[in-house]
Structures are given as structure tokens and as C-alpha cells.
Chain A
Amino acid sequence: MSVFLAKRFLTFVATLLGASIVVFLVLEILPGDPSMTLLGADADEEAYAALRLKLGLDDPAFVRYFEWMWGMFHGDFGVSYAYSVPVMELVWGSLGLTVPLAMFAMAITVVVALGLGVFAASRHNKPGDYVIMTISQLGIAVPNFWFGILLILFFAVNLGWFKAGGFIQWEDGIWLALKSLFLPAIALATVQAAILARTTRSAVLETFREDYVRTARAKGLTRSQTLWRHVLRNALIPVITVMGLQFANLLAGTIVIESVFSLPGLGKLVFQAIANRDMPVVKDIVLLLAGMVIVVNFIVDVTYAVIDPRLKVHDV
């Protein structure tokens, strides 16, 4: 077990290192000079030069990369160019919104998708199945920012049930905070739930064709007993694989959705940081997102081993 964890940890570090190089290179290629963004286009050459010197922008690329890495290794995540506060402070503030938002959206996705997927499979080639498949096709086709705007128009502007945007802090009441995350979570979850419902449906249908399902029926189990006792757990394996991939998509989706709903989260932060060429913030957040995705993948791998006795944790 400890060998397994050590191996996984090394993989974790190696992946993060690879991600850091990619992030750094991409930001190097990105046009736009932070000093110009910070001072505006009208400042004189000397002011630019002074700022570039202060931020170390004239150092060679590998020096800046190693300074970044070295700093992180010592727990120093850099200072934001735009706000002049430590990046850590900015990130901590916004994680409290984005992580709950992603988990909320994931929860909606799982509940809706498993329910609809299993229902559609149990009504295979009947009207219920067709209706759900059509709706899910629509759900996949709808861009989430546009759907978010529709939700605001309908539920916030017309019906007035929710606020059109903004986040009510957790300190002001958990329910109020959750309520302010509800529409964004729905907007994020729609596409993912539609995809996952289709995956669930086909996994359940596939499993129904297995020999051991026929055995279960030959023992005298009814169709629904067979579904609950023999089919579902076997069908979960492909579903969980897709769920793991979707978590990464959800995190990426927050960048757009937090802007649509003006939520001060990680997505909004990184979006503005890119616009401001606030490199330390962008680099750290992208790396953090990469780390979160790797952790989720690890959880998925462990879940496989829990569900399927044929896999031992150390095989994963």
C-alpha cells in the first residue's frame, strides 16, 4: 500500500512538473507585455523599463521558470502584478466559491444523469427512452454560457426567484450561499448531466446483455431486482470513468460561468488575470487546477478498486 502511494505521489509530482512547463511556455508565447497592461499605453519608455526590471521580466525565460518553481517549493506563490497581494491570498478567497460550485454541479450531474440514464435504459426503445434521449441531445448541444443567460432571464428577471448574479458569502447563511450558487450550478451541470445520462443508459443496456444477467433472470429475479442487484454496480465502472473526466470539464466551465453570473471565484480570477497579463496568478491557478484534476483521477482509480474485486488497489 505504501509503495502504491509512493508511486502515485511520484506520478503526481511528475505530472505537475510537466504541467508547469507547458503553462510557462504557453504564457511565454502569449503576446502582450504585463508592464504595458499595468501602466497603460501612454506611459514613457523609462517607466516601462523600470517596471520590467522590478518584475524581473527581462531575465531569461529559464531563470524566471526556476525562480517560480523555487518559490513554490518554499511556499512562496508569488505576488499578483495587478493587485500587489500574494497570489495565495487571492486563490484562497476564491476557492471557497469555486470548489463548492463545482461539487454542487457535480452532485446535480450525478443525481440527474443516473436517474435519467437508468430510467431510459429500463424503457429501452419505448417513448420514455426517446424523450430522455432527445432532451439529452439538446442538453449536449446547448452552450453553457448561453443556457446560463437564459436561466438568469427566466428565473431571476421574469420570476424573481433568484438573484441575477453575485455570491452571498457563507458567513451570511449556508442556504443563501447555496441559493446564489444554484443557477450557476444548473448551467454548469446541464451539458455534463446530458453526457453522463447517455453514458449511463448505454452502460446499463450493455450490462443487461451480459451472461450473468441472464443467470440472474434464470434464478427467478424480476427485471427490476436484476437491475438493482446485478446490473447497476457493474454498469458503474464506465460511468465513473466519464465522471472523472467531467470534473475537469466542470472546473474549466467555471471560468465562463463565473463571468456570466459575476461570481468572484477562481474562474473569474483567472479570466481577469489573463486579461491583465497577471502572470503569477495565471500560472499558479492553472497549476492548481491541474493538481485538482490529478487528485480526482486518483480518487476515480481507487473507486474502481472498491467496486470491482478483480482489481486490487495496487493494480490501478
Chain B
Amino acid sequence: MALLEVKNLDVTLATSRGPARAVRNLSFDLDRGQTLGIVGESGCGKSMTALALLGLLPENGVTTGSINLDGQDLLTLNEDAMCGVRGNRISMIFQEPMTSLNPLHTIGRQVTEPMLIHQGMTRDQARDEAVRLLERVGIASAAQRLDSFPHQLSGGQRQRVMIAMALSCKPDVLIADEPTTALDVTIQGQILDLIADIVAEAGMALILISHDLGVIAETVDRVLVMYGGAGVETGPTASLFEHLAHPYTQGLFAAVPKLGSGGRRGQGARLATIPGLVPELVDLPTGCTFADRCNIADGQCAGTVPTVHDVAEDAGHRVACLKPDDAKRQFAPAEAGR
């Protein structure tokens, strides 16, 4: 039994235009020490998945399926019990370090808060632990920093504080939702390395959510590609980057600018894009969510839920597509041309 088992997770949001399936039939497993990356465009359901794991969906959201943490289904827990899970067994780092800290509270108060609620520490114990945590995440003169306010810190430092806060109760699962998107490029690498080191050190499981394939490639063991709320392809990072079995994954990779990969031709060439726009969740086809924008889709794709095929069986690399062979053929010439 894996540490975290998500099965047939569905999140439906009630909107003025009807129900929107923000996450559909999503399943994945995660064990201690494993790292999973979730990739996809904005609105593909990555963040909704994370919020569903914490039970923090907006009020109009309904979750079905199961989320088992150590064999216990979190969706059956009441609100009080979920408060005991959040920040204690599952922690989250958010995208926006500038706005994710309370501007009126000191750093010390915010970092000690989870330890005070979950671990029954005294204020002094929590303060000592907070100094240790802040030192671990690379905040200089940590003891003095406890009395600082968020506006006195840079974006990178605030994200380090967020990480310290998320780690304070030594959670089993750490969810990092676009943790570096709002940061300077020079800081991004440092923060990712810090997260990777800490996860490895404590043996916790990591879910890293990103739209940045570079970030994913460097940081995680396994990747889950999401489109329109559904998981379209999943596999070990190396295998996934090698095969690119789903037409959407192929499009996502083609859209990344590559330096010098096209030789002289690369310089003036236009960047590849996926045709069409991300459809609104209420308008998605009932079958394959990508059918509207897919270049190999035919009449049946939009109406039929795609079957799951093994790409590399031993590695657990799977793709949800009705025409995996066509997708493969489409990808192969591109590879030959490199």
C-alpha cells in the first residue's frame, strides 16, 4: 500500500454556466521518498488537485473518488479531522510568496503557528524549532528574522519562510504549487534545490506542480501530464521525456524554446504552438478532453473516454489516448530530424 493513493478523483465546480469538471477521473500513487511532478497549462486542474488533497476547495466544489493517506480515506474525514491533517501530514507551498504570508504577523509567529496547533509545543520550544528551520532553509541570522515582518523580506526569502512553515511539522507529503514561478530566475534554482534536498533528507513524498518542463525534468522522478482536468500521460521522467506518447505532451514540448537545437534554422524559426485555445471547463468534450485541439483526433475521440495504453510497461509509463500508434508515428519523424 502506497503512502498516498488517489483513485478516480473527480472535482466538480458549480458555476453560473453549469457544472465544470475541474478534475476528472484522476488516479496516482505516491510513496515515501518519491517525487511526482504534475505538468499542464493554467486551468488544467493541477492546483485544483492539490487543493482537493488538502480539502480546501472553494465552496462550490464537490469531490468524489478517494484520497487514501496511509490507508485512510481523507474524503470521509470531517472538517476537524482534516484540520489535523493539513499542515501536519500534508503541507503545501504556494506560488505567490509575496501574498501568501500574513502582512501583519511576524515571521516567527507564522512559522511557529503549525507547531503550536499540531504538536502542542510551548511558545519557547516552537521558537527554538523555528530558528532551526529558518537556518535550514538558508535564512541568515534566523533568530533576528523571527521578529521581522514579511514586507521586510525579499521574494526568495519569503518563499524560504513558506518552506520552513510547510516543513515545521515534518509532513508525510509536501505539495509545492508552482513554488518558483513568481521568483527571479537566479533564485528559482536555489529554491528548487532546497526543496529537493529537504524532501530527500526527510524521506517525505513530494508533489511538484509546474507548467515549466525544465523545473520538472530537474526535480522529480515521475511526471503526470494533465489536460482539461484529466491525466493524459504518466511515467518516469526519463521515459516520458524520451517517448512523448500523447499528442498533448508532444505539443507541450514543441512549445518550449530550445537554444541552438535547430541550428541556424532555429534562430528565425517561429516557436511551435498548440493550435486553438484552452477550452473552458464547462465546454470540454465528454470523451478525450484534448480532442478539439489534437491533430490526430477523429470523429470518435471527442465522444469516447480514451483507453489507457502502456508505453513502457516495466517503467509504468502509460498514456490515455485512443490512437497511440498515430501519436507515436507523429513523434518519430520529429525525433529522426533532430
Residues of A within 8 A of B (CB): 210-212, 214-223, 225, 229-230, 233-234, 307-310
Q: Chain A interface: which of B20-28, B86-94, B246-254, B326-334? A: B86-94
- Contact between B151 and A215, CB atoms less than 8 A apart: no
Q: In the complex, what residues of B have CB within 8 A of residue A221's CB? A: 83, 87, 113, 117
Q: In the complex, what residues of B have CB within 8 A of residue A217's CB? A: 54, 56, 86
With the chains together, A310 CA to B152 CA distance in Å? 9
With the chains together, A139 CA to B87 CA distance in Å? 43
With the chains together, A144 CA to B141 CA distance in Å? 58
Interface code B35-66, partner A: CB below 8 Å = 1, 0 otherwise? 00000000000000000001010000000000
Q: Identify whether the interface residues of B are mostly helix, strand, loop, or mixed.
A: mixed
- Contact between B94 and A234, CB atoms less than 8 A apart: no
Best-surrounded residue of B88, B96, B103, B165 (most CB of chain A within 10 A): B103
**B124 interface hit (Cβ, 8 Å):** no
Known: A309-B103, A310-B149. A219 touches B79 (CB 8 A): no
Interface code B154-188, partner A: CB below 8 Å = 1, 0 otherwise? 00000000100100000000000000000000000
- Contact between B102 and A220, CB atoms less than 8 A apart: no
Distance (Å) between the CB of B226 and the closest chain A CB? Answer: 21
- Contact between B114 and A309, CB atoms less than 8 A apart: no
Q: Which residues B66-121 have CB closer than 8 A to chain A? A: 79-80, 83-88, 91-92, 94, 96, 99-105, 113-114, 117-118
- Contact between A212 and B118, CB atoms less than 8 A apart: no
With the chains together, A225 CA to B103 CA distance in Å? 17
Known: A218-B92, A219-B114, A220-B117. A212 touches B84 (CB 8 A): no
With the chains together, A234 CA to B99 CA distance in Å? 13
Kindly report which residue of chain B lies nearest to residue A237, judged by CB atoms: B104
Distance (Å) between the CB of B271 and the closest chain A CB? Answer: 32
Instruction: Tell me which of A211, A223, A230 contacts B94 (CB under 8 A).
Output: A211
Q: In the complex, what residues of A have CB within 8 A of residue B151's CB? A: 309-310
With the chains together, A218 CA to B166 CA distance in Å? 9
- Contact between B104 and A220, CB atoms less than 8 A apart: no
Q: In the complex, what residues of B have CB within 8 A of residue A307's CB? A: 104
How many positions in chain B have a CB within 8 Å of any CB in the partner chain? 29
Distance (Å) between the CB of A208 and the closest chain B CB? Answer: 10
Q: In the complex, what residues of B have CB within 8 A of residue A233's CB? A: 104
Best-surrounded residue of A215, A229, A309, A310 (most CB of chain B within 10 A): A215
With the chains together, A212 CA to B151 CA distance in Å? 13
Q: In the complex, what residues of B have CB within 8 A of residue A225's CB? A: 117
Instruction: Tell me which of B79, B83, B100, B113 contacts A214 (CB under 8 A).
Output: B100
Q: Identify whether the interface residues of A are mostly helix, strand, loop, or mixed.
A: helix
- Contact between A214 and B104, CB atoms less than 8 A apart: no
Distance (Å) between the CB of A4 and the closest chain B CB? Answer: 20
Q: In the complex, what residues of A have CB within 8 A of residue B105's CB? A: 230
Best-surrounded residue of B86, B118, B165 (most CB of chain A within 10 A): B86
- Contact between B56 and A212, CB atoms less than 8 A apart: no
Kindly report which residue of chain B lies nearest to residue A215, judged by CB atoms: B100
- Contact between A218 and B91, CB atoms less than 8 A apart: yes
Kindly report which residue of chain A lies nearest to residue B54, judged by CB atoms: A218
Q: In the complex, what residues of B have CB within 8 A of residue A230's CB? A: 102, 105
Given contacts A212-B103, A217-B54, 19 further A-B contacts (CB under 8 A): A210-B99, A211-B99, A211-B100, A212-B100, A214-B100, A215-B101, A218-B91, A218-B94, A219-B113, A219-B114, A220-B84, A220-B86, A220-B88, A221-B113, A221-B117, A222-B79, A222-B80, A230-B102, A307-B104
With the chains together, A308 CA to B149 CA distance in Å? 10
With the chains together, A310 CA to B165 CA distance in Å? 22
- Contact between B118 and A308, CB atoms less than 8 A apart: no
With the chains together, A218 CA to B169 CA distance in Å? 12
Distance (Å) between the CB of B153 and the closest chain A CB? Answer: 12
Distance (Å) between the CB of B313 and the closest chain A CB? Answer: 37
With the chains together, A122 CA to B151 CA distance in Å? 29
With the chains together, A307 CA to B54 CA distance in Å? 31
Kindly report which residue of chain A lies nearest to residue B103, judged by CB atoms: A310
Kindly report which residue of chain A lies nearest to residue B109, judged by CB atoms: A229
Name 14 A/B residue pairs within 8 A (Cβ), A-sorted. Answer: A211-B99, A215-B100, A218-B87, A220-B84, A220-B86, A221-B87, A221-B113, A222-B80, A229-B113, A308-B104, A309-B149, A309-B151, A310-B149, A310-B151
- Contact between A234 and B103, CB atoms less than 8 A apart: yes
Distance (Å) between the CB of A169 and the closest chain B CB? Answer: 44
Kindly report which residue of chain B lies nearest to residue A218, judged by CB atoms: B92
- Contact between B101 and A212, CB atoms less than 8 A apart: yes
Kindly report which residue of chain A lies nearest to residue B50, judged by CB atoms: A218
Q: In the complex, what residues of B have CB within 8 A of residue A308's CB? A: 103-104
With the chains together, A222 CA to B118 CA distance in Å? 12
Q: In the complex, what residues of A have CB within 8 A of residue B118's CB? A: 220
Instruction: Tell me which of B85, B99, B117 contacts A212 (CB under 8 A).
Output: B99
Q: In the complex, what residues of A have CB within 8 A of residue B85's CB? A: 220
- Contact between B86 and A219, CB atoms less than 8 A apart: yes
- Contact between B56 and A234, CB atoms less than 8 A apart: no
Q: In the complex, what residues of B have CB within 8 A of residue A210's CB? A: 99
Closest 7 CB pairs of A and B: A220-B87, A219-B87, A211-B99, A220-B86, A212-B102, A309-B149, A219-B114
With the chains together, A217 CA to B103 CA distance in Å? 16
